[in-house]
């Protein structure tokens, strides 16, 4: 089955998901602000840790440009809490165990892994504008070097 992908100009699908403390976080909480929403396969794996730490280390530059950052994975809040604590992550990580939000954003479905087609989380990053529309949609991003590329794309 083909993944439905979001494109620049599309309305960002609304969501409310629990963060690492179980507190619900909604995309609407960020209305009027720009937000980076990124989807990653699994907390505490090498690539996802590298990506999360890159976002953490560049958070002040994103914030200075009026951008918040949210990470979303299928991990349960308890695992996210360990990830936050282990790596001192300072932005919300949200839990989507039923993969409903991942699917709505086109970040779950068929992907190539080591030459095989598998179903799983597609590492993806979006920038949602203050008006709730997609400004940047990037699928199949690499964990390493992605934040630096996003900074260039955003002129940070």
Specify the CATH number for 16-154; select among 3.40.50.10860, 3.40.30.10, 3.65.10.10, 2.40.40.20: 3.40.30.10
Q: Is the pLDDT of residue 132 over 50?
A: yes
Long-range contacts of 100-104 (CB under 8 A, 24+ apart): 101/13, 101/15, 101/17, 101/72, 102/39, 102/72, 102/74, 104/13, 104/15
Q: Among the listed ranges 7-16, 83-92, 122-131, 139-148, which one has the minimum average pLDDT value? A: 139-148
pLDDT score recorded for residue 3: 59
Which one-letter DSSP state was computed for residue 142? Answer: -
The residues carrying an active-site annotation are 48
- Domain coordinates of the chain in residue numbers? 16-154
pLDDT (tens digit, 9 = 90+) per residue, 139-156? 999 999 999 999 999 998
pLDDT score recorded for residue 1: 40
């Amino acid at each position: 089955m083909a993944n439905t992908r979001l494109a620049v100009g599309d309305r960002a699908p609304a969501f409310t998901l629990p963060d690492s403390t179980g507190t619900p976080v909604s995309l609407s909480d960020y209305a009027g602000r720009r937000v980076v929403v990124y989807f990653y396969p699994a907390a505490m794996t090498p690539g996802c840790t590298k990506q999360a730490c890159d976002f953490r280390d560049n958070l002040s530059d994103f914030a200075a440009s009026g951008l918040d950052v949210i990470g979303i994975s299928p991990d349960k809040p308890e695992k996210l809490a360990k990830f936050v604590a282990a790596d001192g992550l300072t932005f919300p990580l949200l839990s989507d165990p039923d993969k409903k939000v991942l699917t709505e954003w086109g970040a779950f479905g068929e992907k190539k892994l080591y030459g095989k087609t598998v179903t799983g989380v597609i590492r993806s990053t979006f920038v949602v504008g203050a008006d709730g529309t997609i400004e940047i949609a990037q699928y199949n991003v690499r964990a390493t070097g992605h934040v630096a590329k996003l900074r260039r794309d955003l002129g940070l």
